[in-house]
């Protein structure tokens, strides 16, 4: 067994991905206090909103207000998801309030077309312009590749195609590439095979960070994290409360839960920098705001060190 | 990375462990049709009930009726949990209806005393008599060690103590030892360290089967399965629908879900013998019987090959 990483980087995506996927739009006030609590938990990366069209995604209508109102420690790197140049224009009006942008496309033509009504090539053309201008503005850039491990329409996606898209994103200026398991089709054996392939395709250089974005759709999210750690991946994206992701069909879960990820890693002696009790407080707050049970486990069971006494069984 | 096992053995424990932990007693008729459906899913091992005192655990009052009524294929090995000699006496009245017994104790003195009001030494004395008589009756015997990976009262349990108890169970006639993560304290690094230690302590011989019984209390159940596979463990216990286990505090989950386990293993190319759609049917049936959402994921998301189309995200 290879040595596991000693520390990992975690990007919290709940405030964008999670809030976007809730049927009811969360009050701006609640978003701000939730993000502020996450900022106090030791998380060092957070995707806080997206400048999408408010008539299409009303859940994020308040992107500007949220960006302006949140108060997080200066060491937290805030990112904003950018769908296109118009979104970038709006984001740049608040340039001093965030540090990174994320752009996305899918490795599956069918999924990309259904998602943004463009071919992969058309998406890449648009993202190149966004990334160019974002870098000019001094922003760090991440490109996320959805359906990297499989597509619900096309099945398994050729890993070479994913590698080509990753290289195109790097060439366009992305300093980080995220590999998304959009509908929870990844398995640990595949994860162990693909990340080394992708790292090699990117020249095995340290100038592009590889990030794993797993979903817990079939309960295997943290097993895929372990598999990724085993092949040297040390950057992950997750969502507090297990919010968001691609929760289909109804009742399914999406993103892996940040508190479950942190609990496992810290118990394994891998440093995340996160104060788990403070994170669990944030999850408890969002459960109250949403008024429904969460998909995450540690938000209910608590950290291991809390040792809830077990009844006889 | 070591070679993964090509096939694994799974014991379904939902009909005992799951049904016992439901607040409302499930109708005998429903138990029988659920077990019969599980028997049609290709599962080859199933713990179907326990002869405990009906005044203490009314949920399993109908152990005899269930054993007599179920109809499962002859290749399914049925086991019964035996708490003591009185329970064995009652079970032996239906000797031709099952093939194995399971007995249990805890590796933590505090947990064992709270669970069965005995010291570990007293438990072992009692289990020796049960195992002696069970083997005389031609039954295969499993001994399960609760809190093998940690105790909510005592914290980490010395692995040497767990190994000593495992050896004592083997010497008493157990052909299989199950290591239980009763309150979900195990992590993958620990799992990779402990199973090789325990196997060596048992003489590294093939005459005792080592079985992992993980809980998903903190969402890490399948990651622990992967860690166990990596060190050669190829026998697991799980529960359809993620029923049962040690679901504390309220709302917490216990056992890993059999359908999630099977989905991950089969996607990894590891043979389980299980027909996943038939198993998901059983989970859907128990969801209807209980009238509540299940903790398992594949029961909602479906097998990967069902490819539920994802909406744009």
Question: For B166-223, how does the pLDDT look when each residue is reduced to its tens digit (9 = 90+)?
Answer: 999 999 999 999 999 998 999 999 999 999 999 999 986 668 999 999 999 999 999 9
Q: What DSSP letter does each residue of B188-244 carry, written as one string?
A: HHHHHHHHHHHHHHTTT-TTSEEEEE-B-TTS-HHHHHHHHHHTT--EEEEBGGG--
Does the distance separating the beta carbons of B111 and A264 come in below 8 Å? no
Contact (CB, 8 A) for A153 and A111: yes
Q: What residue has token string 């707050």?
A: A285
Q: Residue A189: which of B253, B269, B310 has the nearest Cβ?
A: B269
SS3 A176: strand
Q: How many other C-beta atoms lie within 10 A of the C-beta of residue B14?
A: 29
Q: Could you give the CA distance from residue A279 to residue B213 in angstroms, rounded to a whole number? A: 29
Report the residue from A182, A217, A301 with minimal CB separation from B252: A301
What kind and span of H or E run contains A80? strand A77-81
| B307 vs A308, residue with greater confidence | B307
CB spacing of A251 vs B111 below 8 angstroms: no
Phi, psi of A228 (to 5 degrees): -70, -45
Q: Is the peptide bond before B9 cis (omega within 30 degrees of 0)?
A: no
Residue in the block written with tokens 């009811």 = A24
Kindly report the nearest CA distance between residue B74 and chain A, in angstroms. 30
Per-residue confidence of chain A (313 residues) as pLDDT tens digits? 568 999 999 999 999 999 999 999 999 999 999 999 999 999 999 999 999 999 999 999 999 999 999 999 999 999 999 999 999 999 999 999 999 999 999 999 999 999 899 999 999 999 999 999 999 999 999 999 999 999 989 998 999 999 999 999 999 999 999 999 998 999 999 999 999 999 999 986 668 999 999 999 999 999 999 999 999 999 999 999 999 987 666 677 789 999 999 999 999 999 999 999 999 999 999 999 999 999 999 999 999 988 655 444 4
Q: How far apart are CA B186 and CA B276, in angstroms?
A: 27
The burial of A24, by beta-carbon neighbours within 10 Å (0-12 exposed, 13-18 middle, 19 or more buried), is given as exposed
Give the lowest-confidence range in A214-223, B58-67, B239-248: B239-248
pLDDT of residue A253: 79
C-alpha span between B211 and B296 (Å, rounded): 21
- Please provide the distance, in angstroms rounded to a whole number, between the alpha carbons at the two ends of chain A: 35
Q: How many CB atoms lie within 10 A of CB A260?
A: 28
pLDDT at B93 over 50: yes
Looking at the predicted structure, is the pLDDT value of residue B227 above 90?
yes
ipTM associated with this complex: 0.94
Cα–Cα distance between B10 and B114 in angstroms, integer?
29
Report the range of poorest mean pLDDT among A203-207, B96-100, B102-106.
Answer: A203-207
- Tens of pLDDT, residue by residue over B292-303, are 999 999 999 999
pLDDT at residue B132 in the model: 97
Residue to substitute from B157, B219, B231, B249, interface A, most A β-carbons within 10 A: B219
**Assigned token pair, A285:** 């707050």
Report the C-alpha gap between A202 and A196 in whole angstroms.
10
Residues of A with a known catalytic role:
246
Q: Which of A153, A189, A219 sits opposite B268 (nearest CB)?
A: A189
Name which of B156, B125, B131 is nearest B143 in CA terms: B131
Which neighbouring-strand residues pair with A35? none
CATH homologous superfamily of B9-306 equals: Aldolase class I (3.20.20.70)
Average pLDDT over residues B136-157: 95
Tell me the mean pLDDT in the region B238-257: 84
DSSP for A201-222, written as a single string: HTTT-TTSEEEEE-B-TTS-HH
Cross-strand partners of B169: none
Residues of B in Cβ contact (< 8 Å) with A212: none
Q: DSSP for B39-51, please give it.
A: HTTT--EEEEEE-
Mutation for testing the A interface, residue in B223, B236, B269, B270 having most A CBs under 10 Å: B223
**DSSP 8-state class, residue A285:** H
In 3D space, the residue among A72, A51, A75 whose CA is nearest the CA of residue A62 turns out to be A51
Residue of chain B minimizing CA distance to A304: B185
Q: Using CA atoms, how far apart are residues A269 and A4, in angstroms rounded to an integer?
A: 10
Nearest-angstrom CA–CA distance, B214 and B116: 21
Nearest-CA residue of chain A relative to B256?
A: A219
Q: What residues of B are labeled active site?
A: 246
Residue of B nearest to A189 (CA): B268
Q: pLDDT of A217-239, one tens digit each?
A: 999 999 999 999 999 999 999 99
Please give the sequence-ordered ranges of beta strands (E in DSSP) within chain B, or none if there are none: 9-12, 45-50, 77-81, 100-106, 140-146, 176-180, 209-213, 235-238
Select the CATH number that applies to the domain covering A9-305 from these four: 3.20.20.70, 3.40.50.720, 1.10.3720.10, 3.40.50.2000.
3.20.20.70
Nearest C-alpha of chain B: how many angstroms from A178?
16
């Amino acid at each position: 067994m290879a040595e596991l990483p000693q520390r990992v980087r975690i990007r919290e995506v709940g405030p964008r991905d999670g809030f976007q996927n809730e049927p009811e739009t969360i009050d701006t006030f609640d978003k701000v206090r939730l993000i502020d609590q996450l900022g106090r938990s030791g998380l060092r990366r957070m995707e806080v909103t997206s400048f999408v069209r408010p008539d299409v995604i009303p859940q994020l209508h308040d992107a500007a207000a949220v960006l302006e109102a949140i108060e997080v420690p200066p060491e937290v790197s805030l990112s904003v998801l950018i769908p296109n140049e118009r979104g970038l224009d709006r984001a740049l009006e608040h340039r001093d309030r965030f540090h990174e942008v994320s752009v996305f496309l899918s490795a599956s033509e069918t999924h990309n077309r259904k998602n943004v009504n463009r071919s992969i090539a058309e998406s890449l053309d648009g993202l190149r312009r966004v990334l160019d201008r974002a870098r000019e503005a001094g922003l760090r850039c991440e490109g996320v590749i959805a359906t990297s491990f499989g597509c619900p329409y096309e099945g398994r996606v050729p890993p070479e195609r994913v590698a080509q898209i990753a290289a195109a994103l790097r060439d366009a200026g992305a300093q980080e590439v995220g590999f998304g398991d959009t509908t929870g089709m990844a398995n640990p054996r595949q994860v162990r095979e693909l990340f080394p392939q992708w790292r090699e395709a990117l020249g095995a250089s340290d100038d592009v960070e590889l990030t794993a974005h797993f979903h817990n759709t079939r309960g295997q999210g943290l097993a895929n994290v372990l598999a990724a750690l085993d092949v040297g991946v040390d950057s992950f994206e997750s969502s507090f409360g297990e919010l968001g992701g691609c929760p289909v069909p109804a009742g399914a879960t999406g993103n892996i839960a940040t508190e479950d990820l942190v609990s496992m890693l810290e118990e394994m002696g891998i440093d995340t920098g996160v104060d788990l009790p403070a994170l669990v407080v944030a999850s408890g707050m969002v459960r109250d705001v949403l008024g429904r049970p969460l998909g995450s486990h540690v938000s209910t069971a608590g950290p291991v060190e809390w040792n809830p006494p077990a009844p006889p069984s």
